[in-house]
Amino acid sequence: MSTKAKIGRYVRYILYGILFISVGGYGIYFVQHPNINDLNRFLINAILGLSIFITLNTGLLSLANAGFMALGAYTSAILVAKMGLPLFLSLPLAMLLCGLLGLLIGLPVLRLTDVYLAISTLGFGEVVRVLIVTTPDLTGGATGANLSTGFPFEKMRQTETWMLVLFLLVLIYLFYWLDRSKTGRALRAIRQNSSAAANMGINVVYYRNLAFVMSAAIAGGAGVFYAHQVGSLENGDFRFSRAVDILSYGVLGGTTHWFGPILGAGLLTVLPIFLREVVGTSLDVIRNFAQLPLIINGVALLLVVIFLPGGLFAPSRFKRTPPAINEAELKDLEPPIVAVDSNPPPGESGEPPPLLELREVTQVFGGITAVDNISFKIPPGIICGLIGPNGSGKTTLINLITGIYRPVKGRIFLRGQDITGQKSYIIARMGIARTFQNIRLFNDMTVLENVIVGHHARIKTNLLTTWLRLPRERQEEQLARRQALSLLKRLGLLSFAYQPASKLSYGDQRRVEIARALALNPALLLLDEPAAGMNEVESALLAEFILALKRQGYTVLVIEHHIDLIMQVSNEIIVLNFGKKIAQDVPVGVQQNPQVVEAYFGQE
Amino acid sequence: MVDASLLTNPVYFLQNLVDGLARGAVYAVFALGFTLIFGVLDIVNLAHAATYMWCAFAGWVVMAVLNMPLVVGLLAAMLFGGLIAVILEFIAFRPLRQEGAERLAPMISSIGVSIIMVSLAEAQFSSQTKKFPSEVLDPKPLYLGGTDGVRVSWAQLLIVVVSIVLMVALGYLIRRTRTGKAIRAVAYSQRAARLLGINVNRVVVVTFFIGGVLAGAAGILVGLLTNNINPNIGADIELRGLAVVILGGLGNIEGAVVGGLCLGLVETFSIAYFDRGSDYKDAIAFLILFLILLIRPNGLFGRQEANRA
């Protein structure tokens, strides 16, 4: 165990210790001085915790939830106290408004790198407060929403504990099933590696927006209950420090399981009350040190992020005793093969169009031409090797084909269809799957789950089927699971199905990547150094496997430094040097090509 | 919305130009530290504003409590900022600089440190405002063009001079020195820099030190300008700093300077020429930030493409 993990264990003990002492101590106090407001406040914070959880679980850092909470609170206060709507009607309206606003903010920002969301949400809370202060007729302005500004107290105190419990239970139900659905898997995949997720056909921007909108709506809902719990509102209730509180519920409590943020909310709600009301009554030092809870919060945040990245409550996602696999059940489930189209549309000359065609593709990075005017065609059903010295542009070429980069010049066609500059997830769905030179598996998932992610685009379920538990949901999931298992069987990985992907050997991880890519059912498979880190035996098996893929109708483009492997499997080899194509020929031809020899061994 | 008589008053216009430039210069100095650390390390250091706030207090202690002269106060605040930033690097950022750490973790740890710093300041100085004694900086302003002309306070003059010196010094450091070369190398690729024999950790410490010095300078200058130092001044500038950094392009040094001046001018002029400008002034930074993200996410002067999701 690493030093960090060891310290992390102690951090967990200490935090649980603080949690139990403060909850226990406060519990004793509570029995003597029952205060339902404290309980309600905890429940509201727990809801807020879940609102931040959904973004953290997607790998997004949002500081907007104090703003959405304010928006929900004021919306409901106005609807209920001024316009006479019942509370339960104002709740969905406020949530809808927050969700829509979340979409408005998320749409432009979430297509950018993740830091932009954090930065822009930091400002959002401020804007909401400016909005509140500058509309006194509607919101009570700087004075606040209270009796003097037309918010009668009796209409503003309607939050009951049972409502909060009910709301929280509904959220837990939704989160529980979400985690077990296609959507939940996609969100976790995005958190772990967004570019790999995109290359598996997951629309990253859509799912990020989905998570952000859900988060906004839930925070708005919490705001509704908050307004009717406190009875009056002030813009100061929703300062930046509130956003930090909400974030802390999630980060401290845990970002991988819905129970984490509830625990975090419990810790951070009870601790200040415990210090003030229980410890503070006998210890003046503590009572006079009002900042102590905040300082503890800050220190805990720091320690957890460094030593306990999953948070306080982070149960392993991996089962100790994996379910038995019924191999017989997988027999008739050889996954559908996209064979070569038997009746391809004829091209201009009557020839079938090539599967992949690059026309004068060029890519420049900071003045360096990484890919220089490259054109080639790959007919369907062949294995094409792509070789060249280090830095000759091989991986860049794959990144261009899969839409990670957009070429500065040139066009790329798949089956005659222009895919230049198309988004990665669409290219993946159109039939191009890939593996990565530096392995990009989803490490917090089992081998099986990794492969199921590859099925993403084909699983026809949605949030409605998930939450209504429609029969289709289970059928689709089971089908995907069985297909994934049979794929694993074909690659000899069945015994690893329920193991964490990160625990496998290098060579096995590469094969899992291939299985995941095959799960997309691609017409073209791009393998980026599949034999790296494999020994002779493994590499020979891989060659067999690649040849088997060809027999099944797949077209494969493979980058590899093991020349033996390339020569053995390829029908055709493309050679790159300094970003230029210097040869495209059958293996023997390439071996005898003086330019290729020169590129590899230098001039004689 | 706009008072017509003000529109045609050239002195009023010039006055706001001066005020706006002084305000913008401070934003620029603050944002420079932000953008430098982001440019080199890809980290948004959300404790930058807390560093700034503590430096304002440090300068206040040196000048108002220890009665030291202005120059000593300035240098002390800047040095203090550098020290805090280096400590931050060791406790909040270095432990997270490794393979597999989540990209957003440094941001969260910097929020944690920021909470601690602000709470400690509140505990130490209480929330009430600290002011400088009048010996530090003559409160009587200079008049350009007679007493009806444009007022320039000594603090504003000091800000403009110090900002220009710092910007020039930073530009020289980054472009012309060995250290600057190493910083640029690390910014380009930590791995490549390490392979070339550059001590990456040392370069990072130096970068943080410079960032902290800039935060310190901004803190003490704003303190002198507004003569109002309290534990919450960091919150006021944080969003503005980020808006400036986005406006100029994340990691872009020249962009931060121009962006800072732009924001200072826009804020000052909207307060001056619009009826309720001061109510909305806190929203201006956000609006700029959001508009830029909407139409030019690489910033006004950005060259690199912002990584797409």
Contact A238, A128 (CB under 8 A): yes
Instruction: Quote the DSSP letter at residue A312.
Output: S
CB contact under 8 A, B282 and A244: no
Residue A96 CB partners (closer than 8 Å, separation 6+): A217
The per-residue pLDDT for range A177-226, each reduced to its tens digit, is: 999 999 999 999 999 999 999 999 999 999 999 999 999 999 999 999 99
Q: Domain count of chain B?
A: 1
Q: Does B185 touch chain A (CB under 8 A)?
A: no
Q: How far apart are CA A189 and CA A204, in angstroms?
A: 9
Contact B12, B272 (CB under 8 A): yes
Rg of chain A in Å (alpha carbons):
29
User: How far is residue A82 from each of residues A138, A145, A155, A158, measured CA to CA in Å?
Assistant: 9, 11, 9, 14
The per-residue pLDDT for range B88-108, each reduced to its tens digit, is: 999 999 999 876 677 789 999
Interface residue of A57, A301, A308 to substitute, partner B, most B CBs within 10 Å? A301
Q: How far apart are CA B274 and CA A511, in angstroms?
A: 65
CB contact under 8 A, A130 and B308: no
| pLDDT class of B305 with cuts at 50, 70, 90 | very low
Name the residue facing A111 among B108, B112, B309 (closest C-beta): B309
C-alpha A505: how far from chain center = 24
Contact B212, B148 (CB under 8 A): no
Q: Is B138 exposed, middle or buried (0-12, 13-18, 19+ CB in 10 A)?
A: exposed
Mean pLDDT of chain A: 90
Give residues 225 to 254 of B whose Cβ lies within 8 Å of A.
235, 238-239, 242-243, 246, 250
Contact A301, A251 (CB under 8 A): yes
CB contact under 8 A, A309 and B101: yes
Name the residue facing A133 among B108, B115, B279 (closest C-beta): B279
**Whether residue B5 has pLDDT greater than 70:** yes
For residue B140, tell me if it sits in a domain: yes
For residue B43, tell me if it sits in a domain: yes
Half-sphere exposure of A560 (CA within 13 A, CB side): 27
**Whether residue A348 has pLDDT greater than 70:** no
Which secondary structure element, helix H or strand E, spans residue A528, and what is its range?
Answer: strand A524-528
CB contact under 8 A, A123 and B239: yes
Q: Looking at chain A, which residue has its C-alpha nearest residue B297?
A: A112
Query: What residues of chain A lie within 8 A of the CB of B116, using their CB?
Result: 294-295, 298-299, 302
- Position A351 scores a pLDDT of 65
Which secondary structure element, helix H or strand E, spans residue A68, and what is its range?
Answer: helix A65-77
For residue B14, tell me if it sits in a domain: no
Instruction: Give the relative orientation of helices A506-518 and A447-454 as an angle to the nearest 10 degrees.
Output: 30
Contact B203, B193 (CB under 8 A): yes
Q: How far apart are CA B285 and CA A126, in angstroms?
A: 10
- Position A33 scores a pLDDT of 87
For residue B226, tell me if it sits in a domain: yes
C-alpha A169: how far from chain center = 24
What's the whole-number mean pLDDT along residues B295-300? 81
Q: How far apart are CA B46 and CA B111, in angstroms?
A: 6
What is the value of pTM for the model shown?
A: 0.92
Question: What is the 3-class SS of B239-267, one letter each residue?
Answer: HHHHHHHHHHCCCCHHHHHHHHHHHHHHH
Question: What are the structure tokens assigned to B188, written together?
Answer: 């380009």
| Segment A324-333 long-range contacts (CB within 8 Å, at least 24 positions apart) | A325/A485, A325/A494, A325/A497, A327/A489, A327/A494, A329/A482, A330/A482, A330/A485, A330/A486, A330/A489, A333/A482, A333/A483, A333/A486
The per-residue pLDDT for range B18-66, each reduced to its tens digit, is: 999 999 999 999 999 999 999 888 889 999 999 999 999 999 999 999 9
CA nearest neighbour of A394 among A195, A589, A189, A599: A599
C-beta neighbour count of A571 within 10 angstroms: 15
- Position A220 scores a pLDDT of 98
To the nearest whole Å, the CA of B261 is away from the closest chain A CA by: 19
To the nearest whole Å, the CA of A154 is away from the closest chain B CA by: 31
Residue A8 CB partners (closer than 8 Å, separation 6+): A307, A308
User: How far is residue A466 from each of residues A54, A212, A413, A475, A538, measured CA to CA in Å?
Assistant: 16, 19, 37, 12, 40
- Name the more confident of B55 and A337: B55
DSSP secondary structure of A228-297: HHHSSB-GGGGSHHHHHHHHHHHHHH-SSSTHHHHHHHHHHHHHHHIIIIIITTT-HHHHH-TTHHHHHH
Half-sphere exposure of B6 (CA within 13 A, CB side): 14
Residue A478 CB partners (closer than 8 Å, separation 6+): none
Q: Looking at chain A, which residue has its C-alpha nearest residue B115?
A: A298
Residue B229 CB partners (closer than 8 Å, separation 6+): B53, B56, B57, B60, B129, B130, B131, B223
For residue B66, tell me if it sits in a domain: yes
Mean pLDDT is lowest, of A90-104, A214-228, B271-285, for B271-285
Q: How far apart are CA B149 and CA B155, in angstroms?
A: 18
User: How far is residue A232 from each of residues A1, A47, A130, A134, measured CA to CA in Å?
Assistant: 51, 20, 18, 18
Query: What residues of chain B lie within 8 A of the CB of A113, using their CB?
Result: 306-309
For residue B48, tell me if it sits in a domain: yes
CA nearest neighbour of A424 among A207, A195, A208: A195
Q: How far apart are CA A482 and CA A325, in angstroms?
A: 10
The per-residue pLDDT for range B116-144, each reduced to its tens digit, is: 999 999 999 887 788 888 777 777 888 88
To the nearest whole Å, the CA of A525 is away from the closest chain B CA by: 23
Give all strands of the β-sheet with A555-559 in edge-to-edge order: A432-434, A524-528, A555-559, A383-387, A572-577, A580-585
Which secondary structure element, helix H or strand E, spans residue A526, and what is its range?
Answer: strand A524-528
For residue B132, tell me if it sits in a domain: yes
What's the whole-number mean pLDDT along residues B198-224? 95
Cβ pairs A/B, distance under 8 A:
142
User: How far is residue A549 from each of residues A283, A515, B2, B65, B267, measured CA to CA in Å?
Assistant: 74, 12, 73, 79, 64
CB contact under 8 A, A120 and B112: no
Q: Which domain holds residue B153?
A: 28-232
The per-residue pLDDT for range A50-88, each reduced to its tens digit, is: 999 999 999 999 999 999 999 999 999 999 998 989 999
For residue B266, tell me if it sits in a domain: no
How many residues can be counted in chain B?
309
